[in-house]
Amino acid sequence: TDIYWYPSLPVMGLLTYENSTINDETTIAFDTRFSYIYNSGWERITGEVTVGAAEWSGSNSDFFWGVTWTGASPSDRIFFVTNFNEAEPNFMRFYNGVDWDNFNPVIDALGSTLNSARILTVFKNRLIALNTWEGAAPGNNYVNRARYCQIGSPLDVNAWRQDIVGRGNAIDAPTQEAIVTVEFVKDRLI
């Protein structure tokens, strides 16, 4: 007999993952520890490439934000997710439709990494991380920063490197106010 047990943790995100099939948007739910996919009922996503990648840590104030973008091949549909928890031992994650894996890209020659972001979005063919945690984990919080990868795959080993021309970089807004949300107005990211 199948038995389903749910720990009754608070819902921290209901996001849609755009599969490669046109207009096939799978709903993925998050609580403070696990992710679930809806297939005629909620099922926990347990597949992981890196040990621990399928389990999250956080409190009831660490909400999830995610976006679907390309992977190593332009035809890949990869779901990038963050819960803006600077103490998350497995950093941000990406989901390929089967397994979760850690996502903390290297941003310079010193080995500094992008550990977390409040928001992940896509703009002008680049994956963008806003309000970031960078450096040796947990690193420093840059509340007014937009860090972006190269045009193309954000999973490329050098995609986020700011010290290689044509790859990634960052820009800081001229304010001390934290970036807490984004919106598209015509062809501008506000």
Phi, psi of 91, deg, nearest 5: 60, -155
Instruction: Using a cut of 0.85, tell me whether the model's pTM lies above it.
Output: yes
Q: Report the range of poorest mean pLDDT among 7-11, 19-23, 126-130, 180-184.
A: 19-23
What tens digit of pLDDT does each residue of 131-159 get? 999 998 778 999 999 999 999 899 999 99
